Amino acid sequence: MPNRKRPIIMRLAVTEDEKKLIEEKMKILGTRNFGAYARKMLIDGYIIKVDYSEQRKLAAEVNKIGVNINQICKRINETGRAFSEDVAELKSRMEDVWQLLKSKL
C-alpha cells in the first residue's frame, strides 16, 4: 500500500474489560473510529508520572529521628528519670520533624 497516508501499522492486545472501557470512552467522545481515537490518545493523551523520591527522603529522615527518640525513651525507662538534656533532645527532634514537613509542603 504505497499510497497510504499512514503506511505503518501498529497493533495492541487488550482484555475484554479493557476493550469495554475503551469503547465506553469512545462513546463519551462521540467517535466510533478506533484508529482515530487511538492515534489521538497516543499522541495527545496525558501521562501522569508521580515522583515519590522526596517523600521517600522525608520518610527516611523521619525514621532516623524516630530511632533517636526511641533511644532516649529507652534510656528514660531504664533509669526511671528524665533528664533535662533528654527532654531538650526530644523537643529538638520534634522540631526537626516539623521543619522537614513544613519544607516539603
Q: Are 26 and 32 in contact (CB under 8 A)?
A: yes
pLDDT greater than 70 at residue 103: yes
Amino acid making up residue 101: L
Cell 534510656: give the residue. 75
Nearest 5°: CA angle at 14, between 21 and 39? 75
81 CA to centre of own chain: 43
- Structural domain span for residue 28: 10-48
pLDDT for 21-52, tens place per residue? 999 999 998 889 999 999 999 999 886 778 88
Give the chain's domain count: 2
On whether residue 4 sits in a domain, the answer given is no
Verify that 98 and 73 share a domain, yes or no: yes
Verify that 59 and 43 share a domain, yes or no: no
Verify that 43 and 21 share a domain, yes or no: yes
Question: And the C-alpha cell for 52?
Answer: 515519590
pLDDT greater than 80 at residue 86: no
